[in-house]
Structure 1
Amino acid sequence: MSDEENFYQGEAGSSFTYPMQAGNIKKNGYAMLRGFPCKVTEMTTCQAGKHGHAKATIIGVDIFTGRKYEDYCPTSHNMEIPFVKKQEYQLMNIDDDNYLTLLLENGETKEDLKLPDDQLQIVEKLRSDFESQKDILISTIQAMGQEKIISYREIVN
């Protein structure tokens, strides 16, 4: 191999999920239910019958769409758990296509996040606060290669 070849590296731990025993999943945690990243709203277990394992019933809400999912799994088997990351960015601009310009901690800008279409009240209030020259922090949630705005707040000096 020559020295001229460039190799690009991904983030360390580039997997979107990690395994965890179903019996160890807790309420208000996260789990992949039916292939979707969900926040667990209910977790119940039933004892082993004469032909099998103790089973867990896990009910959760998709963190991006709000849709409810339910899944069953033996408590001793592994389930996939998504890596979920919450971030805050300072809002710099909102363009005409509803894309935000956000300031990262390192001083660079991020311009690939769009205002949510399904939260019109929050969007209108955010636009109003931004046009009133308020300093705003945007809170986002990231999982499975997706990112969504979950809330915002005014920076109080």
Structure 2
Amino acid sequence: MTAEDVAAQVTAPTKVSELSKGGYVMLKGRACKIVSVDAADPRVNIVGVDLFSGKKYEEKFAADATVEVPILERTEYILLGISEDRYLRLIADDGDLNENVRVDDEREAKAVQKLFDENTDGARVTVFSFDGEERLAW
């Protein structure tokens, strides 16, 4: 495998037996956070929530199966504010500005605004990136 192949790889193979609640897995082609793993021999039922859409997915796998786990990029930013249409204004340590991350709903927008208001010296936030999508990590 070349260095370019490694850099382009966005998932890694993992045994189903190594997955646990709170981890990450690809379900129906989407990067999901695992909310439950139910091992009922010989199948394992995995339920996850899509990191970017919030949609719930469920799949069954053989107990000895190999599944794909998303390789998430995490970037730390300083929160500069939030727009009325719920896009975050973020700046990285290297000075790069990111205004492409949008929070899902009004409740989440209020939580971000509260975080911003309570940290006048700059609230630090983490953003997950995977396969061209970005999402605030909570």
**TM-score using structure 1 length:** 0.69
Corresponding residue pairs, total: 135
- 2:78 and 2:69 map into 1 onto residues whose CA distance is 29
Structure-2 change in CA distance of 1:38 and 1:95 (3 Å):
closer
State the structure with more CA Rg: 1
Q: Deviations over 1:68-117 (max 9, x none)?
A: 111011122211110123332012355676544422222x222342332x
Matches within 5 A, 1:52-91: 54-91=42-79
Decide whether the 8 Å contact of 1:102 with 1:111 is kept in 2.
Answer: yes
Decide whether the 8 Å contact of 2:81 with 2:113 is kept in 1.
Answer: no
Decide whether the 8 Å contact of 1:93 with 1:101 is kept in 2.
Answer: yes
Which ranges of 4 or more aligned residues in structure 1 deviate by more than 6 Å? Answer: none
> 1:17: how far off?
0.7
Q: Do residues 144 (structure 1) and 131 (structure 2) align?
A: yes
Q: Do residues 17 (structure 1) and 5 (structure 2) align?
A: no
- Which amino acid in the other structure matches residue 53 of structure 2? T
Q: Do residues 32 (structure 1) and 19 (structure 2) align?
A: no
Decide whether the 8 Å contact of 1:37 with 1:144 is kept in 2.
Answer: no
- Which amino acid in the other structure matches residue 72 of structure 2? V
Structure-2 change in CA distance of 1:56 and 1:127 (3 Å):
closer
Structure-2 change in CA distance of 1:97 and 1:28 (3 Å):
closer
- Alpha-carbon RMSD: 2.9
> 1:13: how far off?
2.4
Decide whether the 8 Å contact of 2:90 with 2:99 is kept in 1.
Answer: no
- Which amino acid in the other structure matches residue 44 of structure 2? A
Secondary structure in 1 matching 2:9: coil
- 1:26 and 1:127 map into 2 onto residues whose CA distance is 32
Secondary structure in 2 matching 1:141: strand
**TM-score using structure 2 length:** 0.76
Higher helix share: 2
Q: Which residue of 1 aligns with 2:93?
A: 105
- Where structure 1 has 5 or more consecutive residues not aligned to the other structure, the ranges are 1-8, 48-53, 152-157
